[in-house]
Structure 1
Amino acid sequence: MNWNFIAYLKNKQTQKNWENALPQLPEWAVRYYRAHRQRQESQSPFPTLQKARFVVFDTETTGLNMQKDVVISLAALRLEAQTIQIGESLEFFIPRQKTGSKHSITIHQILPQETEGGISESKAIEQWLDFIGTDVLVAHHVGFDVGMMESMMNRVLFPNKETKLALLNPQLDTARMEKRLQKHLTQNDDAFSLDALSNQYDLRIAQRHTAAGDTLATAQIFLIQLKKLQKRGIKNVDELF
């Protein structure tokens, strides 16, 4: 089985959308697409878990509405050979006049003045796409974080148009992986929250509910999950999907 089969077969329309948009895209977005296209055309096999590269990330946002809310901060780090690559990380804030409702602020504790000196959405997306490349994305409830980054990407690329592009990277959700490990695919999500899993695995993470702290917690949980899956005979990345 090759990388093309899992990562791209279900994304034919996504690829077509990217191809149609290429003439309008900045160089950094074209570079991202071409890296994925080259990966697809090479028919590269899925790597083993021992050699695979993952990008674990987390976003802090003004709320949970992917159409109305926005990203305040993001942190990401790379895993390779089942090891956190300390020197390969990304973190930024995006200046916002409002950082969410009172409830949101009590969770992420980011006030508007703390985002001052951050980078623009355009620069954030450029850095993000350059950092993730063709690596597998990993997050806790990955659909939300990916959705927020895609919304920001489309605001930057098509500010006055309805064109929508999706990220091309394969994606893994640590919450769903834990349900798979415990064989409880329909159990209440509260039992698989980041706090619950951090407690379950006796992780002591500073700065929880910050992008950096949650990224580190997710990475450590993911590494534990990989070891458990390897004991069950899982050897290659394609077996994780």
Structure 2
Amino acid sequence: MNPFAWLRPATPLVQEALKTRLARLPQPTPWRTCSLREQRWVVLDLETSGLNLNRDQVLSIGAVAIDEGAIDFSQQFERTLHRPEQKTTASVLIHGLGPSALAAGCDPATAFVELLEFIGDSPVLAFHAPFDQHMLTRALKHSLGHRLQSPFVDVADLAPMLNPDVAMREAGLDAWVAHFGLEVAERHHASADAQVTAELTLILFSQARRQQLDSPQALLQRLHAWRRRKAHHQGL
């Protein structure tokens, strides 16, 4: 018997039907040289119990597809997860997720499989994407023992990169939404936040095309170069 076995996280018990669906998921494709309009994108927003990357958990998921250069309202995804053990805190209530909503939520493992099926082989866009990517990675490992493979793009980086003359003290989603005059039906709600992020993204894609960045590959190459310059200047 291995005396250190207790240190290893337990492997989650996953239903065979869910394992089969995971096995059928397509592999993410490399960054393409097609136009931004031709690429299908998935805009994701996660509402969580807090901002602790190692302790808090995903409570609800909102996603919408950008397909053929427009938000496709026939391709939307929304789930509230079954989290009856979640304590009612200010962080939870700001999302409008009270105890009854979380108690009536769907099975997290099933919801995450459905989300991966919705994403397919598309790249994922999110505002402050590293947070959503980390939280989803941890949730998939905990619920399904599955490794997230979808590439993520941070809209919070695309916006300043494509708008170098815009100076903001707090360049959060609300600030960019106000800058471009977008209307938000409801904030801190996964589906509403995903939709307004998608609307912001379409504006940014239009700007990218005017800057001769009309493919996912070209956009990501410019973004990587912009991040390197930013890190260099911050290090000086």
Same fold (TM over 0.5): yes
Q: 2:21 aligns to what?
A: 28
Q: 1:5 aligns to what?
A: none
8 A Cα contact 1:99 1:111, kept in partner: no
For each residue in 1:166-199, what CA deviation from the matched residue of structure 2 results, as whole angstroms up to 9, or x when unmatched? 4222211111001212338xx87x6321111111
Q: 1:78 aligns to what?
A: 65
Shift of 1:31: 1.6
Q: 1:95 aligns to what?
A: 82
Q: 2:24 aligns to what SS in structure 1? A: helix
Supply the distance in 2 between the matched residues of 1:45 and 1:143 (Cα, whole angstroms).
22
Q: 1:36 aligns to what SS in structure 2? A: coil
Which range is displaced more, 89-98 or 100-109? 100-109
Shift of 1:70: 0.7
Q: 1:178 aligns to what?
A: 159
Q: 1:208 aligns to what?
A: 187
Q: 2:119 aligns with which of 103, 107, 132?
A: 132
Larger Rg: 2
Supply the distance in 2 between the matched residues of 1:85 and 1:47 (Cα, whole angstroms).
19
Supply the distance in 2 between the matched residues of 1:100 and 1:90 (Cα, whole angstroms).
25
Give the letter aligned to residue 83 of structure 2: R
Supply the distance in 2 between the matched residues of 1:107 and 1:200 (Cα, whole angstroms).
24
8 A Cα contact 2:36 2:215, kept in partner: yes
1:1-241 matches, cutoff 5 A: 26-32=19-25, 35-36=26-27, 39=29, 45-97=32-84, 99=86, 102-158=89-145, 166-183=147-164, 191-241=170-220
Supply the distance in 1 between the matched residues of 2:138 and 2:201 (Cα, whole angstroms).
26
What's the Cα RMSD here?
2.3
For each residue in 1:209-239, what CA deviation from the matched residue of structure 2 results, as whole angstroms up to 9, or x when unmatched? 1001101110000000000111111111111
Supply the distance in 2 between the matched residues of 1:100 and 1:150 (Cα, whole angstroms).
23
Supply the distance in 1 between the matched residues of 2:87 and 2:64 (Cα, whole angstroms).
25
Supply the distance in 2 between the matched residues of 1:197 and 1:107 (Cα, whole angstroms).
21
Supply the distance in 1 between the matched residues of 2:69 and 2:87 (Cα, whole angstroms).
35
Q: 2:50 aligns to what SS in structure 1? A: coil
Q: TM-score if structure 1 supplies the norm length?
A: 0.77
Supply the distance in 1 between the matched residues of 2:85 and 2:175 (Cα, whole angstroms).
29
8 A Cα contact 1:79 1:85, kept in partner: yes
Give the letter aligned to residue 162 of structure 2: L
Shift of 1:106: 4.7
Aligned residues: 203
- Greater share of helix: 1
Supply the distance in 2 between the matched residues of 1:89 and 1:223 (Cα, whole angstroms).
16
In structure 2, relative to structure 1, the CA distance for the partners of 1:101 and 1:196 (3 Å cut) is farther
Q: 1:20 aligns to what?
A: none
